[in-house]
Chains A and B, each alone.
Chain A
Amino acid sequence: MSWGILRDLLSGVNKYSTGVGKIWVAVVFMLRLLVYVAAAENIWKYERDEFECNIKQPGCENVCFDHFFPVSHIRLWALQLIMVSTPSLLVIFHVAYRENREKHHNQKLYRNPGEIDGGLLCTYLISLILKTGFEIVFLVLFYKLYNGFKIPHLMKCDIRPCPSTVDCYISKATEKMIFLYFLVGTSCLCIILNLTEFSYLIFKYSLKCFLKRYTKEQQ
């Protein structure tokens, strides 16, 4: 049940997207969601069990793990996927509202309820801005929480009840780092796609307005 909702949401969004929007849905679905479920989840599955500190003092490992990983990478990744997909609901709601209005008036109010013009254009642009905003927020959060996108093999910890500075070792550090870079890469790709789509829509509808005004003046 878990990621099925997101999958259904993305398929629903696909119907009302531009060409670039459809590429965005494909990237999110294949390169982010699928990679998360099929690969990344398993890498971080035993992160706590495999985190080892060179000390027998009870509680030291717990405290050091909590200090180095306040929120796990994999949880942030999951939250990012959910938050980035949610603004598309605005577009779905707006299209459904249009279809409903047509049904109640029993006449065709719009050329096509799913066509991106007028109010739906504003909603679409707002959803693009929100998506880009969330992507940037999460990238900054990742960067701030973990001092960049590196995962070291060894971390030194001296928080109570650790009696002195102890060495703590993180499991699969290189593999985690590779997937983290993959996450950052796909996020940046999605940001670029969103900005491209935004510019394309603004350009297209400015041109439309300009041509309409020009032909009116000619007449």
Chain B
Amino acid sequence: MDWGALHTILGGVNKHSTSIGKIWLTVLFIFRIMILVVAAERVWGDEQDDFVCNTLQPGCRNVCYDHFFPISHIRLWALQLIFVSTPALLVAMHVAYRRHEKKRQFRKGDQKCEYKDIEEIRRQRFRIEGSLWWTYTSSIFFRLIFEAVFMYAFYFMYDGFRMPRLMKCSAWPCPNTVDCFVSRPTEKTVFTIFMIAVSTICILLNVAELCYLLTKFFLRRSRKAGNSKQQPNHENKEETKQNEMNELISDSCQNTVIGFSS
């Protein structure tokens, strides 16, 4: 059980996301999770072993390390990635619930059910409207909150995003103020700034997706209000069909297949 499990779960949500949502997912996997696993974990791997203090006093090094790094960067990032990915589960659960309802209708032999078999229900992609729209929008909102909270936590805990080379420590049992040296501070600073930059990009993508969904919602409402004022006739049905086609065209990236399997 590792990051592969997250990959499997989120791959399923990918099918029902908007195009911006798919780009967000790609950025998450390639520029955050992959960088974390492949590079960042190695950089922080020896952080305690190579944290050196200019004293022979037993316990001083441990206490100083704990004082300067209450939670390691790498653990904070792992938590951030997990929290940020979790709201997508809301969408996955909603889709699973809808599928379950459709399967129940199909088994009852409901006339309204337009599916030929269970496999078609399993394969079907639901459009983001109605209650799914609310679930999807809430998940984006929670993602934004989690990203912002973690970025603030980083900034607050480590006084900015720079890793200093030398830290002065006077916690007990250190006999006086001792110099403590961090291992690989420059490399750590580079990766911290990289991860913060990618978090910012993800926040911007989420904001863009939220704006897109809100715009689509209001456009749809105004279109419905406009249509309900007109008299229902054959021409109107054609127009509605054409409007639906136009909507489909504007959502046409929604079956984008990203390189990795979903």
Chain A residues within 8 Å of B, Cβ to Cβ: 1-6, 8-13, 48-49, 57-59, 61-63, 65-66, 69-72, 74-75, 78-79, 82, 86, 88-89, 92-93, 96-97, 99-101, 103-105, 161
Contact = CB atoms under 8 A, between A and B. Distances in A.
A48 B184 contact: yes
Given A1-B2, A1-B7, A161-B54, A78 B38 contact: yes
Interface string B22-34: 0000100111011
B34 A82 contact: yes
Nearest to A72: B187
A44 to B, nearest CB: 9
Contacts of B248: 104
A145 to B, nearest CB: 10
Interface string B44-72: 00100010111100000000000000000
Nearest to A96: B256
Interface in B240-259: 245, 248-249, 252-259
Contacts of B4: 1, 4
A177 B96 CA distance: 54
Given A59-B54, A66-B165, A82-B30, A3 B38 contact: yes
The 10 closest A-B pairs by CB, nearest first: A12-B259, A59-B181, A9-B259, A8-B260, A1-B4, A70-B186, A96-B256, A62-B181, A58-B54, A2-B37
Contact of A71 (B7, B187, B260, B261): B187
B168 to A, nearest CB: 12
B54 A97 contact: no
Contacts of A66: 165, 183-187
Given A2-B38, A58-B55, A65-B184, 4 more contacts: A57-B54, A78-B38, A82-B34, A96-B257
17 contacts: A2-B3, A5-B259, A9-B260, A12-B259, A48-B46, A49-B46, A58-B52, A63-B181, A69-B187, A70-B187, A72-B43, A89-B258, A92-B257, A93-B256, A96-B256, A104-B249, A161-B179
Contacts of B260: 4-5, 8-9, 12
